[in-house]
Amino acid sequence: MEQEGIHLSRVKLFAALSDATRLRIVDVLRHRDGLSSSEIAELLGVSLALHCHHAKILSEAGIITKRKEGQTSYLSLNQDFLTSQLSGLL
């Protein structure tokens, strides 16, 4: 039963990473963790709405975490989750 949960979690992880914009968000956060949504959107040259759409998918998959300060959301990679999901895969 636990293996099935891990498998489903990995399916969600890889589905979330199957989009070029979401991969670019992950890559930006690998190099500059803790950026705001507007900073990431500007770096990628996409609208804030498009960025937020993709960030929601990454967050729901567990890939990123959000920290709110007032009206601003700051995003970080969920390193522990990624390590746990990818360990033992190869």
Q: Phi, psi at residue 35, to the nearest 5°?
A: -80, 155
Alpha helices in 1-90 (DSSP H): 2-16, 20-31, 37-44, 48-60, 79-86
The whole-model pTM stands at: 0.88
In this prediction, residue 90 carries a pLDDT of: 65
pLDDT in tens, 9-46: 888 999 999 999 999 999 999 999 999 999 999 999 99
Task: For domain 2-86, give the fold.
Answer: Arc Repressor Mutant, subunit A (1.10.10)
Q: Where are the domains of the chain?
A: 2-86
